[in-house]
Amino acid sequence: MTKEHSNKLKEIFIAENRQLSAYIRSKIDSVDESEDLLQDVYLQLLGNVNVLDSIDNITGWMYTVVKNKIIDWYRRKRPDTVSIDNALDADLQLYDLVADEDIDDLDDDEWEEYAERIRQSIELLPEKQKYVFVEQVLNDKTFRELAEETGEPLNTLIARKRYAVSFLRKQLNLV
């Protein structure tokens, strides 16, 4: 790197550091993550030092790199989704949840006790998971109906139900 390039990079760093940092922080809440992202931008700038002379607007180039890095960051942070093809797999009814060979042998009192454990376990679910589980399983609403009501993506609702079922199975010692 020539002295001229070194001085030019130093000037850019001093001039743009605060604004770039503020822009990144406006898009990403985490201080550590935003600082890491800013460092990645500077590393990319250093890696392209040979082409700096051909870039007319280095500041514009840096903001483009920042925008792309923010998009990449959000893609990495995006929660996993459940495929719509697996929706049938998630379409579990309450009986399927509690189906166990030992349940058939329960008398009325034992069944009532077990049903109370189920109700208590459902109450322990996070609100959004509980809503999807209750509406879909107990009130027979489809995921599409719930998506229209809540404005939530279909895959999000399916995933919430999966998490709820998994939680309930653990609570009821069915796993």
- pLDDT tens, position by position, 18-70: 898 999 999 888 888 889 888 888 888 777 766 666 677 778 888 888 898 88
Residues 93 and 147 occupy one common structural domain: yes
Same domain (yes/no): 58, 110: no
Shared domain check, 61 and 24 = yes
Quick: pLDDT tens for 111-155.
Answer: 778 778 888 888 899 999 999 988 888 888 888 889 999 999 988
Nearest to 117 by CA among 76, 168, 68: 168
Residues 28 and 106 in one domain: no
Contact 11, 54 (CB under 8 A): no
Question: Based on the domain organization, do 61 and 19 belong to the same domain?
Answer: yes
pLDDT at 81 over 80: no
* 154 shares its domain with 99: yes
Give the rounded distance of the alpha carbon of 147 from its chain centre: 17
Which domain covers residue 142, as residue numbers?
Answer: 84-171
Looking at the structure, tell me whether residues 88 and 72 fall in a common domain.
no
Distance in angstroms (rounded) separating the CA atoms of residues 78 and 50: 35
pLDDT at 1 over 50: yes
Instruction: Tell me the CA distances in angstroms from 100 to 97, 104, 113, 174, 175, one per residue in order.
Output: 9, 8, 15, 8, 11
71 plus 107 within the same structural domain: no
Residue 28: phi, psi to the nearest 5? -130, 125
Query: What CA–CA distance (Å, rounded) separates 155 from 67?
Result: 27
Sign of the dihedral defined by the CA atoms of residues 49, 39, 65, 77, in that order = positive
Residues 68, 88, single domain; the answer is no
Number of compact structural domains in the chain? 2
Q: Which residue has the higher pLDDT, 108 or 24?
A: 24
Phi and psi at residue 48, to the nearest 5°: -110, 25
Predicted confidence band of residue 105 (pLDDT cuts 50, 70, 90): low
Which pLDDT does position 61 carry in this prediction?
83
Same domain flag for 68 and 119: no
- Token pair 């229209």 is found at 148
Domain boundary among 77, 97, 132: 77
Name the token pair of 153. 């993506």
Given 30, 62, 77, the domain boundary residue is: 77
Evaluate if residue 83 carries a pLDDT over 70.
no
pLDDT in tens, 142-151: 888 899 999 9
Instruction: Give the residue from 15, 44, 77 where a domain finishes.
Output: 77
15 and 67 assigned to the same domain: yes
Q: Are 157 and 150 in contact (CB under 8 A)?
A: yes
Q: Which residue has the higher pLDDT, 162 or 1?
A: 162
- Please indicate, yes or no, whether residues 63 and 92 belong to a single structural domain of this protein: no
